[in-house]
């Protein structure tokens, strides 16, 4: 037992490395491995299918990125898109977050400059895994800032494989979140660093990080509310310091100015209710600075107390009055529906059906937490305990981040993504602290025997632990057992994450796979088949009507004008389409003709048993249509309050347009006769069906 | 009655001690304070002007006001000679940070003016 470490240290001594350098080598090699691992584990779908863009939203991002590469930045910034939302069009330059596209094009240009002949699509597909790897690096530095480098390493490895993050950053998922989580963690890290050091340079970096986040994702509202909340907590707990003043002020002013450069955000930072917390805390900071200065000036504390009382009450009163005036006069807009539904989860269901209908906006089930976090779920409270034991400005921040993001993750499934970095960091603290305590126990006895060796952190504790050791002889064995248990748990975690990634999060959802009758894998490529048929067999200016889920894909791959797409900015337009889909054919054809539609596209799952087709989405069409046109009433389509599509379905249901189109061959109303639409194309597995609108008959 | 007069006396005594303590600060700090005061005064003038004329090019208004507030805040923070600050940063580094931040601030303002 004593010879083995001697030979190992001999080996390392042959490299002429000192202890510090050995540690550095280990750390750097671990980080490199983690970096590569984070990238590789997201490549399942590229290996199984091919390198393509998944889902719906990424197709819009891809289309805008193409436009940006071809036309340059100035045209992109001022682009008006007439191919979607016919007949309204869409001001793309002012209604999107350009961070993702600009990043991808920058990477593309750099690679081209280095003479790698890549296609922009490859860059788009692999952007998210690349940024996931960068996030692991940021997580390492953040962990080092909060606790120590050991916790940083564990945080990096945890976040590299955590399913909560992988779900939105697989290769092919070219969506804002892939870049935004990197920006989020980077901004938080740099801000905490600024609070710890009080340097203007780090605050400037945090302002730039915030700018990047604003350009990338609408979730920046989380940052602009969490940081003021954190500052407020520090102020209340008496941790005001000049470092905090410097950090927050610089970040707020510069960050706000930079953020207003993005047209989509515009002047919201001074006008919208969601951003008012930041401004309020800014003014409060000035008050605290003033008080600090006065306290420094005066030597008499009694006088200062009186002054304190007067100032604080008057400041709060003035602030309250100003806020009240702003909200009452309507200058400061109240919280928008999307974010208000986070505070009041029942709000969206009653008032804004579009937001409620997105499956990602549903409240989170317990099983989702377990699925996405595994052992991190119980390491999270353990980490909170360790953070509270060693409270500092940085640990207060991570505790607040963790608690607020977990609350929001409970409200909306999609926000598990935002909670993931916090959970990983806090769990890393728990793991690192536990493992450190256990190994200290182990090495306390060996310290007498061993000569060489690595981290000297056991040094101070070993003397006290050695005394303890003699009284509890089984302590060392207990420590070894616990260590093995910890490593076993971590390895189960890694296995679970890889399994989850491979099974659940790697399907491109535009290509479906299933097991055939003989157990072989059958690929359904129906969506792309339909879109390419549209591209090749319809006139250039044909307009296609479908439910908004498919809008982006139709414009990107089919290259035809659509009526509504995933941007969902015009509720009335979507409601019109919903009404058309749910009325009798005669009423529907009026609406269809008024919108100049040439083709109708529906998704039908009857033959293949595909469960997410338009019939299942139908109830949402009714709800959204009914939200704007009271003609459509939801109870008409239900039987005894239940939603059925077979023979027992309600009469209105049986006769409406979508039923005809989608379930043409299904049980229920067979032999439907279509007067105004004729079938144009059906894909090989009957999943997508396209109907052509017949021109009106000549009456005479 | 007694309360109010004692508060008045308090306020008076407060004011006097503040004045005397302030007179004791070194001259260069007072110059920086003057600079901060001037920046805030300029911002106030802009606000009054906007109140009179209307806020149509809102981005120009915002950029003007925020540039004033920004320089005020940055200058207030670069008060690195004041004993309120931690001593761990060398003054050259603090000054370089100050220059860098001002540079970024003014570049963004120039872009935002429109």
- Is 80 exceeded by the pLDDT of residue A101? yes
CB distance from A279 to chain B under 8 Å?
no
pLDDT single digits (tens) A227-244: 999 998 998 888 888 888
Task: Pick the residue of B55, B57, B105, B114 with the most A CBs within 10 A to test the interface with A by mutation.
Answer: B105
Q: What is the domain partition of chain A in residue ranges?
A: 524-693
- Measured between CA atoms, the residue of chain B closest to residue A198 is B86
| Dist. CA A633–CA A641, nearest whole Å | 13
In this predicted structure, what is the pLDDT of residue A458? 34
Nearest CA in chain A to B86: A242
Instruction: Inform me whether the pLDDT recorded for A313 exceeds 70.
Output: yes
With an 8 Å Cβ cutoff, are B63 and A257 in contact? yes
pLDDT at A699: 57
User: Residues for chain A: how many in total?
Assistant: 700
Q: What are phi and psi of A447, to 5 degrees?
A: -60, -35
> What confidence score (pLDDT) does residue B50 get?
80
Please compute the mean of the pLDDT values over residues A320-331 and round it to a whole number.
74
Residues on chain B touching A197 (C-beta within 8 angstroms): 88
Read off the tokens for A552: 């982006």
Q: Answer yes or no: are the C-beta atoms of A598 and A678 closer than 8 Å.
A: no
Per-residue confidence band for A453, with pLDDT thresholds at 50, 70 and 90: very low
Q: How many Cα neighbours within 13 Å face the side chain of A436?
A: 20
Q: Distance between alpha carbon A375 and the CA centroid of its chain, in Å?
A: 21
pLDDT at A346: 67
For the ranges A145-154, A321-330, A668-677, the one whose mean pLDDT is highest? A145-154
Q: How far apart, in whole angstroms, are the C-alpha atoms of residue A464 and residue B114? A: 67
A639 DSSP 8-state letter: B
Nearest chain B Cα to A282, which residue? B73
Selected for mutation to probe chain B from A257, A283, A300, A301 (highest B CB count within 10 Å) is A257
Gap from A103 CA to chain B (nearest CA, Å): 20
- Nearest residue, CB atoms, A257 vs list B13, B89, B112: B112
How far is A91 from chain B, CA to nearest CA, in Å? 20
Q: Which residues of B touch A270 (CB under 8 A)?
A: 62
Bigger pLDDT: A106 or A60? A106
Q: Burial code of A494-526, b = ≥16 C-beta within 10 A, e = fewer?
A: bebbbebbeeebbbbebbbeeeeeeeeeeebbb
Paired residues of A544 in beta bridges: A562, A599
* Mean pLDDT in residue range A125-137: 91
**Which tokens sit at A198?**
């009080």
Cβ-based neighbour number of residue A360 at 10 Å: 11
B68 Cβ contact partners less than 8 Å away, ≥ 6 residues apart: B39, B40, B42, B43, B46
Mapping DSSP to helix (H, G, I), strand (E, B) and coil, where does residue A521 land?
Answer: strand
pLDDT for A303 equals 66
Contacts with B76 from chain A: Cβ below 8 Å: 289
- Is residue A647 over pLDDT 70? no
- Residue A447 banded pLDDT, cuts 50, 70, 90: very low
- What is the nearest CA distance from B59 to chain A, expressed in angstroms? 8
Instruction: List residues of chain B with CB under 8 Å from any CB of chain A.
Output: 7, 10, 13-14, 17-18, 21-22, 58-59, 62-63, 66, 69-70, 73-74, 76-78, 83-86, 88-89, 93-94, 97-98, 100-101, 104-105, 108-109, 111-112
Residues A84/A555, Cβ–Cβ less than 8 Å: yes
- Per-residue pLDDT, averaged over A198-203, amounts to 84
Residues of chain A neighbouring B88 (CB-CB closer than 8 A): 197
Q: What is the pLDDT of residue B1?
A: 44
Rounded average pLDDT over A7-22 = 66
Q: Which residues of B touch A297 (CB under 8 A)?
A: 17-18, 21-22
And the tokens for A609?
């048993």
What pLDDT score does A5 carry?
52
Q: How far apart are CA A588 and CA A568, in angstroms?
A: 21
Asked if B84's CB is within 8 angstroms of A297's CB, the reply is no
Sign of CA dihedral A12, A15, A16, A18: negative
**Percent helix, strand and coil across chain B, each to the nearest 5:** 80, 0, 20
| pLDDT higher than 50, residue A642 | no
First-to-last C-alpha distance (Å) of chain A:
104
On chain A, the residues whose CB falls within 8 A of the CB of B74 are 200, 250
Nearest to A296 by CA among A307, A312, A310: A307
Mean pLDDT, residues A581-587 taken together: 67
Q: What residues have CB less than 8 Å from A57, skipping those under 6 apart?
A: A175, A552, A566
d(CA A514, CA A530): 19
Closest Cβ opposite residue A201 in set B58, B83, B100:
B100
CB A243 within 8 A of CB A193: no
pLDDT-based confidence at residue A696 (cuts at 50, 70, 90):
low
Let me know: does A602 contact A658? Beta carbons within 8 Å.
yes
Write the residue in B10, B18, B104 that is nearest to A204 by C-beta. B104
| Contact list, A261 vs chain B (CB under 8 Å) | 108, 111-112
Instruction: Single out the residue of B54, B59, B84, B74 nearest to residue A297, CA to CA.
Output: B84
Helix, strand, or coil (residue A692): strand
- Interface check for A282 against chain B (CB to CB < 8 A): the answer is no
Residue of A246, A255, A393 to mutate, interface with B, max B Cβ within 10 Å: A246
Look at residues A604, A597, A611 and name the one whose alpha carbon lies nearest to residue A664.
Answer: A604
Q: Cβ contact (<8 Å) for B105 and A199? A: no
* Nearest residue to B74 via CA among A183, A257, A226: A257
Answer yes or no: is pLDDT of A76 > 60: yes
Pairing state between β A561-562 and A543-545: parallel
Give the minimum alpha-carbon distance from B18 to chain A in angstroms, rounded to a whole number. 7
Residue A692 has pLDDT above 60, yes or no: yes
Query: Mind listing the pLDDT tens digit for each residue in B75-111?
Result: 766 655 454 455 566 677 777 878 888 888 888 888 8
Are B62 and A270 a contacting pair at CB < 8 A? Answer: yes
Long-range contacts from A87-91, C-beta under 8 angstroms, 24+ separation: A87/A595, A87/A596, A88/A570, A88/A573, A90/A567, A90/A569
Does the beta-carbon distance from B93 to A199 stay under 8 Å?
A: yes
Cα separation, A648 vs A640, whole angstroms: 10
- Spell out which residues of chain B touch residue A294, defining contact as CB-CB under 8 Å: 18
- Contact between chains at B97 and A201 (C-beta distance less than 8 A): yes
Q: Check CB contact under 8 Å for B105 and A298.
A: no
> CA torsion sign, B38 to B44 to B46 to B48?
negative
Residue A325 contacts B where some CB pair is shorter than 8 Å: no
What does the H/E/C string look like for A665-682?
CCCCCCCCCCCCEEEEEE
pLDDT at A428: 92
pLDDT score of A561: 75
Mean pLDDT of B49-63: 75
Q: Phi, psi (5° rounding) for residue A644?
A: -125, 150
With 0-12 CB in 10 A as exposed, 13-18 as middle and 19+ as buried, what is B19? Answer: exposed
d(C-alpha A444, C-alpha A452), whole Å? 14
**Minimum CA–CA partner of B6 in chain A:** A306
Residues of A in contact with B87 (CB under 8 A): none
Element (H, E) at A512: strand A512-515
pLDDT beyond 60 at A12: no
Question: Is residue A423 predicted with pLDDT exceeding 80?
Answer: yes
* pTM of the predicted structure, to 2 decimals: 0.80
- Tokens read off for B76: 């207030």
* Lowest-confidence pick of A30-39, A59-68, A452-461, A477-486: A452-461
| Cis bond before residue A700 (omega within 30° of 0) | no
pLDDT of residue A651: 42
Residues of A whose CB is below 8 A from B86: 198, 242-243
> What is the structure's pLDDT at B3?
46
Tell which residue, A115, A102, A114, A112, has the closest CA to residue A72: A102
Q: Averaged over A415-440, what is the pLDDT?
A: 89
pLDDT number for residue A357: 63
Say if CB A171 and CB A126 are below 8 A apart.
yes
- CA closest to A200 among chain B residues: B97
- Specify the residue for token string 């761990």: B88
**At residue A466, does pLDDT exceed 60?**
no
A524-693 in CATH: which number?
3.40.50.12610
Q: Chain B residues with CB inside 8 Å of A199's CB?
A: 89, 93-94, 97
pLDDT above 90 (res A59): no
pLDDT confidence tier of residue A668, bands split at 50, 70 and 90 = very low
Taking every pair of Cα atoms in chain A, the longest distance, rounded to a whole number of angstroms, is 109
Q: For residue B10, which residues of chain A lie inside 8 Å, CB to CB?
A: 303, 306-307
**CA distance to partner chain A, nearest, from residue B10 (Å):** 7
Please check whether residue A300 touches B, CB under 8 A.
yes
What DSSP line would sit under A525-563, residue for residue? -HHHHHHHHHHHHS-TT-EEE--GGGHHHIIIII--EES
Structure token pair of residue A294 = 């006065």
| Interval A542-571: pLDDT, tens | 777 777 777 777 777 777 777 777 766 677
Q: In the predicted model, is pLDDT for residue A607 greater than 60? A: no
Output the average pLDDT for chain A.
75
From chain A, the residues in CB contact with B104 under 8 A are: 204, 207, 254
- Are A257 and B108 within 8 A, CB to CB? yes
Which of A327, A27, A45 lies closest to A166 in space, CA to CA? Answer: A45
**CB < 8 Å to A306, chain B:** 7, 10, 14
């Amino acid at each position: 037992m004593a010879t083995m470490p001697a030979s190992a240290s001999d080996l390392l001594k042959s490299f002429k490395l000192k202890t510090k350098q050995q540690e550095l080598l280990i750390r750097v090699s671990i980080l490199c491995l983690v970096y590569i691992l984070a990238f590789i584990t997201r490549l399942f779908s590229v290996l199984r299918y091919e390198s393509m863009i998944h889902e719906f939203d990424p197709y819009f991002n891809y289309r805008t990125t193409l436009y940006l590469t071809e036309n340059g930045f100035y045209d992109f910034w001022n682009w008006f898109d007439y191919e979607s939302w016919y007949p309204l069009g869409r001001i793309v330059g002012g209604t999107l977050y350009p961070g993702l596209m600009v990043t991808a094009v920058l990477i593309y240009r750099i690679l081209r400059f280095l003479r790698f002949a890549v296609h922009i699509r490859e860059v788009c597909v692999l952007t998210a895994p690349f940024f996931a790897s960068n996030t692991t690096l940021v997580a390492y530095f953040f962990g080092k800032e909060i606790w120590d480098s050991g916790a940083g390493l564990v945080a990096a490895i945890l976040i590299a494989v955590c399913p909560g993050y992988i779900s939105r950053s697989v290769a092919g998922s070219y969506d804002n979140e892939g870049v935004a989580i990197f920006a989020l963690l980077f901004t938080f890290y740099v801000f905490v660093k600024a609070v710890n050091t009080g340097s203007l340079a780090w605050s400037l970096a945090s302002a730039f990080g915030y700018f990047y986040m604003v350009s990338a994702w609408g979730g920046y509202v989380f940052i602009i509310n969490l940081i003021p909340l954190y500052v407020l907590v520090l102020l209340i707990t008496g941790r005001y310091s000049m470092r905090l003043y410097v950090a927050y002020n610089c970040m707020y002013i510069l960050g706000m100015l930079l953020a207003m450069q993005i047209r989509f955000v515009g002047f919201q930072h001074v006008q919208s209710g969601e951003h008012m917390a930041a401004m309020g805390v800014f003014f409060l900071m000035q008050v605290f600075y003033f008080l600090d200065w006065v306290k420094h000036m005066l030597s008499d504390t009694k006088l200062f107390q009186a002054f304190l009382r007067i100032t604080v009450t008057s400041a709060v009163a003035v602030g309250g009055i100003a806020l009240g005036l702003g909200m009452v006069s309507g200058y400061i807009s109240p919280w928008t529906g999307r974010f208000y539904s986070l505070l009041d989860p029942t709000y969206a269901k009653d008032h804004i059906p579009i937001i409620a209908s997105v499956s990602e906006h549903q409240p989170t089930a317990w099983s989702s937490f377990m699925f996405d976090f595994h052992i991190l779920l119980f390491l999270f409270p353990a980490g909170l305990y360790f953070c509270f034991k060693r409270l500092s400005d940085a640990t207060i921040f991570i505790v607040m981040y963790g608690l607020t993001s977990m609350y929001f993750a409970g409200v909306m499934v999609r926000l598990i993504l935002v909670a993931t970095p916090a959970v990983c960091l806090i769990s890393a603290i728990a793991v690192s602290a536990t493992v450190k305590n256990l190994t200290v126990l182990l090495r306390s006895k060996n310290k007498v025997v061993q000569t060489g060796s690595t981290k000297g952190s056991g040094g101070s504790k070993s003397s006290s632990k050695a005394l303890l050791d003699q009284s509890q002889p089984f302590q060392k064995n207990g420590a070894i057992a616990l260590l093995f248990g910890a490593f076993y748990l971590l390895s189960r975690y890694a296995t679970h994450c890889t399994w989850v990634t491979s099974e659940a999060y790697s399907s491109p959802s535009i290509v479906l796979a299933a097991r055939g009758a003989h157990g072989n894998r059958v690929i359904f490529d129906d969506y792309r088949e339909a879109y390419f048929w549209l591209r090749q067999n319809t006139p250039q200016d044909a307009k296609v009507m479908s439910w908004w889920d498919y809008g982006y894909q139709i414009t990107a791959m089919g290259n035809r004008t659509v009526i509504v797409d995933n941007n969902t900015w015009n509720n009335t337009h979507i409601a019109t389409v919903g009404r058309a889909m749910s009325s009798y054919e005669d009423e529907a054809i009026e609406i269809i003709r008024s919108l100049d539609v040439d083709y109708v596209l529906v998704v039908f799952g009857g033959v293949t048993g595909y469960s997410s087709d338009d019939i299942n989405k139908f109830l949402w069409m009714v709800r959204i249509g009914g939200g704007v046109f009271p003609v459509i009433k939801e109870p008409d389509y239900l039987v005894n309050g239940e939603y059925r599509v077979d023979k027992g379905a309600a009469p209105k249901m049986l006769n409406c347009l979508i039923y005809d189109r989608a379930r043409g061959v299904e049980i229920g109303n067979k032999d439907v006769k279509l007067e105004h639409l004729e079938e144009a194309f059906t894909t090989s597995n009957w999943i997508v069906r396209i109907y052509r609108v017949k021109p009106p008959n000549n009456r005479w | 009655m007694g309360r109010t007069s004692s508060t008045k006396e308090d306020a008076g005594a407060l004011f006097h001690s503040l004045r005397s303590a302030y007179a004791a600060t070194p001259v260069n700090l007072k110059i920086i304070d003057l600079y901060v005061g001037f920046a805030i005064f300029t911002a106030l003038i802009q606000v009054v002007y906007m109140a009179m004329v209307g806020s149509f090019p809102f981005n120009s208004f915002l950029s003007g006001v925020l540039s004033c507030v920004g320089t005020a805040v940055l200058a207030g923070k670069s008060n690195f000679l004041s004993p309120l600050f931690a001593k761990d940063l060398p003054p050259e580094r603090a000054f370089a940070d100050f220059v860098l931040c001002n540079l970024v601030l003014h570049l963004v303002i120039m872009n935002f003016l429109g």
